[in-house]
Amino acid sequence: MKKAIHLLLLACLSINTSANPLNDSAKIQILRYPSSLNDLLSQYRGKVIYIDVMASWCKPCIVELKESKNLDSFFEDNDIIKIYISIDQRQDIDKCLSLLNQYNAKGYFVPYQPPQDGAANFASDVETLFLKNDKGEYDISIPKYAIVDKDGNIVVKRAERPSNKEGLISQLKEWVKK
């Protein structure tokens, strides 16, 4: 009887573990901290990239994260890479990863904050492109999105949000077919 209960308990544990979406590590892949934005983008040369600059504390980011699920099949069908760049403070990066996993986001993740011993060139690139206005003043209104062409060039600095599904698909199609 004890052996039967033990086997039943083991079977239940294995079912619960495999059903847990947080165990599916293929959805969000954490990237090593890049030396620069060009270093990051060069890893995906030959593919169109959609960049999502976000944070775990940002309510509009969360709304857009929910909407982005409606685009997963389009991204997969067109081999578009999705990169999430979190501007969370170093101590809150796990919150952002949990949020991405909670909404079953797919793609790649890199924090904006450099590691304790890391160079800050990537952070500087992100600030210049996404967190400062044309006058060089900080403008930390997020989320922000960008499209990168197959050659690694940022071609749309202020791309459409996932909630504007048709507008975003139209923007992306322009670069996918080139």
Residue 85 lies in a domain: yes
Residues of the chain with pLDDT under 50: 1-25
CATH for 110: 3.40.30.10
Query: pTM value?
Result: 0.82
Residue 14 lies in a domain: no
pLDDT of the residue at 77: 96
Residue 20 lies in a domain: no
Residue 153 lies in a domain: yes
Number of separate domains in the chain? 1
Angle 93-140-142 from CA coordinates, rounded to 5°? 70
Other Cβ atoms closer than 10 A to 64 = 19
pLDDT of the residue at 137: 92
Domain membership of residue 105 as a residue range = 27-176
pLDDT of the residue at 118: 65
Residue 82 lies in a domain: yes
How remote is the C-alpha of 8 from its chain's centroid? 39
DSSP β-ladder status, 144-148 and 107-111? unpaired
Residue 11 lies in a domain: no
pLDDT of the residue at 27: 87
pLDDT of the residue at 157: 93
Residue 126 lies in a domain: yes
The answer to whether 52 touches 109, Cβ cutoff 8 Å, is no
Residue 160 lies in a domain: yes
